[in-house]
């Protein structure tokens, strides 16, 4: 598969999100217990954008030149995941694109919640493509606001009050740069729609 091109602004987006995480981590102090080897956020399939998918693909290409064995292990885990997930995948298994109708979205809520991410190294409990990880992964842990309210990892902020949690809120992408970059990708012929990690790294 041809490695999809990344828009020039992706590194800026990553820097913005990583800076927001660093700031939220500082404000969170001991409430935030995230550490290498904790894989709570690495189990359960979630959707990613085509920008995330392209970033992962580039990261895998770099890993291929640095450590071919690890790169092939990622691909092997991804292919095995696709075989397990395909029978109930709420989308097109040929392209890996998730369907966006209400029924498919409802099915996805309960889809593969016990499936480990194929980029997770089961021996070390760390991410083999950490520098290229999706935006969702970069923002997991600190309080992040969604339509459902302010959410945090269930392992973090034990004993914290609502006010203490709110004081640590992470504003992930305040200028919505990700959407602008996705529009640029699609304008240049990039695939629309969302996918999952396994399809992004299985080639």
**What's residue 11's pLDDT?**
95
Q: Is 117 a member of any domain?
A: yes
Closest CA to 54 of 129, 1, 4, 98: 4
Mean local confidence (pLDDT), 10-19 = 97
pLDDT tens digits, residue range 141-192? 999 998 888 888 999 999 999 999 999 999 999 999 999 999 999 988 888 8
For 57-80, the pLDDT digits (tens) are 999 999 999 999 999 999 999 999
Residue 15 in domain: no
Residue 13 lies in a domain: no
Confidence of residue 121 (pLDDT cuts 50, 70, 90): very high
Assess if residue 21 is contained within a domain. Answer: no
Is residue 57 in some structural domain? Answer: yes
Instruction: Give the domain extent around 125.
Output: 27-201
pLDDT score for 21 = 96
Distance, in Å, from the CA atom of 36 to the CA atom of 96, rounded to the nearest integer, reads 29
Q: pLDDT tens, 23-45?
A: 999 999 999 999 888 998 999 99
Please answer whether residues 198 and 185 qualify as being in contact, where contact means their C-beta atoms are separated by less than 8 angstroms. Answer: no
Mean pLDDT for the stretch of residues 52-61: 96
Does a structural domain hold residue 93?
A: yes
Percent of the chain with pLDDT over 90: 84
The answer, yes or no, to whether residue 3 has pLDDT greater than 90, is no
Domain count, the chain: 1
Contact 32, 140 (CB under 8 A): no
Confidence of residue 1 (pLDDT cuts 50, 70, 90): very low
**Any domain includes 45:** yes
Tell me if 36 is assigned to some domain.
Answer: yes
- 86/126 Cα distance (integer angstroms): 25
């Amino acid at each position: 598969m041809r490695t999809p091109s990344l828009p020039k602004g992706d590194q800026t987006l990553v820097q913005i999100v990583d800076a927001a995480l660093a700031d939220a981590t500082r404000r969170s102090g001991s409430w935030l217990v995230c550490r290498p080897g904790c894989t709570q956020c690495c189990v359960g399939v979630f959707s990613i954008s085509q920008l995330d998918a392209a970033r992962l693909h580039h990261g895998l290409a770099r890993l291929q030149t640095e450590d071919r064995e690890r790169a092939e292990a990622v691909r092997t885990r991804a292919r095995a995941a696709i075989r397990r997930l395909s029978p109930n995948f709420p989308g097109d298994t040929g392209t890996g694109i998730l369907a966006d109708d209400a029924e498919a979205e409802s099915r996805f809520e309960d889809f593969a919640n016990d499936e480990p991410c194929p980029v997770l190294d089961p021996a070390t409990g760390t991410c083999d493509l950490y520098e290229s990880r999706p935006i969702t992964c970069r923002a997991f842990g600190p309080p992040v606001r969604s339509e459902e309210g302010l959410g945090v990892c269930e392992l973090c902020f034990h004993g914290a009050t609502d006010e203490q949690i709110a004081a640590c809120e992470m504003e992930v992408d305040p200028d919505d740069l990700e959407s602008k970059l996705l529009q640029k990708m699609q304008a240049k012929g990039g695939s629309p729609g969302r996918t999952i990690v396994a399809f992004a790294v299985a080639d």
